Structure 1
Amino acid sequence: MSRIEFYVLSSSSQSERMLAACKLALKGWRARMPVFVRCQDEAQARELDELLWRFKADAFIPHDLHASDPQAPVVIGLDDEPASRQGLLINLQPDISPHVGHFSRVIEIVNQDPPLLAACRKNFRLYRERGYDPQRVEL
């Protein structure tokens, strides 16, 4: 069963949420896990793609959009089915991925933006109802 974690940021900044996604993708890739970042829309996917190139000057994160290379070490997509199983899902959408069971670990990045906070609280309850034991991690 997937390990579910809610990483909670103290701010409501969308840019801090995106930076947290980059840091977690780097950490997952360095741990040799396939990483899938589930974005809200194409615009956010393109923004994350750009940010992964420049967020850390001394690190290279091999990544690509799902449409271009679904086998990349770090894949940026929407509701696409992951090509790799048992990796890390970083969820930036406000709802639960339909592919949760394909991953050994799922990270939901929560900030203090009221609509996102409400959606993540709902997701926390839904994971519990589905038999998962979600954990909260303060960042």
Structure 2
Amino acid sequence: MRIEFYVLSSANPVDRLRAACQLAAKGWRHGLPVLLRCTDAAQRDELDALLWRFRAESFIPHSLIDDDADAPVVLALDEAPATRQGLLINLASTISPHVDRFSRVIEIVNQEPALLAACRENFRSYRQRGYDPKRVEL
């Protein structure tokens, strides 16, 4: 499994959501099923709205997991993915309970102190589980 921590230079939460949209679009264009794991329903709804208007020239086909678990891009909280070997974009502060069902995991980190601390802990946890997470500066 490939695990990457994409590090943003800002602390703005909207920048994390924009990065998630860009990464979801890229994953979908490469033929991967994408699951966006959100922190809570409010973040999920904000991300859903952002995906609708993210790029005027290209629609990103997406759905909430309860509406269509097989959509190319799925927004969820802690629900299990409908497909295996896809891309997990984790916006939650903890590791997904279904992490082993994905071939690639992206954690999006910004400079907000609580999130930085949580992501550092996730990085250590992945290493303890035998994975080799990588850091990517954005």
TM-score scaled by structure 2? Answer: 0.99
Aligned residue number for residue 93 of structure 2: 94
Aligned residue number for residue 56 of structure 1: 55
Q: Which stretches in structure 1 are left out of the alignment for 5+ residues?
A: none
For the residues of structure 2 that align with 1:119 and 1:35, how far apart are their CA atoms? 23
Letter of the structure 1 residue corresponding to residue 124 of structure 2: R
Aligned residue number for residue 137 of structure 1: 136
Letter of the structure 2 residue corresponding to residue 135 of structure 1: K
1:43-94 residue CA offsets vs partner (Å, 9 max, x unmatched): 1111111100101111111000001110100000000000010000000000
Instruction: Give the match's secondary structure for 1:112.
Output: coil
Aligned residue number for residue 36 of structure 1: 35
Instruction: Give the match's secondary structure for 1:108.
Output: strand
- Runs of 4+ residues deviating >6 angstroms: none
Letter of the structure 1 residue corresponding to residue 102 of structure 2: F
Instruction: Give the match's secondary structure for 2:57.
Output: coil
For the residues of structure 2 that align with 1:25 and 1:58, how far apart are their CA atoms? 16
- How many residues are paired up? 138
Question: By how many angstroms is 1:21 displaced?
Answer: 0.2
Aligned residue number for residue 17 of structure 1: 16
For the residues of structure 1 that align with 2:72 and 2:135, how far apart are their CA atoms? 26
For the residues of structure 1 that align with 2:67 and 2:39, how far apart are their CA atoms? 18
1:25-59 residue CA offsets vs partner (Å, 9 max, x unmatched): 00000000000000001111111111001011111
Aligned residue number for residue 6 of structure 2: 7
1:50-129 correspondence to structure 2 within 5 Å: 50-129=49-128
TM-score scaled by structure 1? Answer: 0.98
Give the % identical residues. 67
Q: Which stretches in structure 2 are left out of the alignment for 5+ residues?
A: none
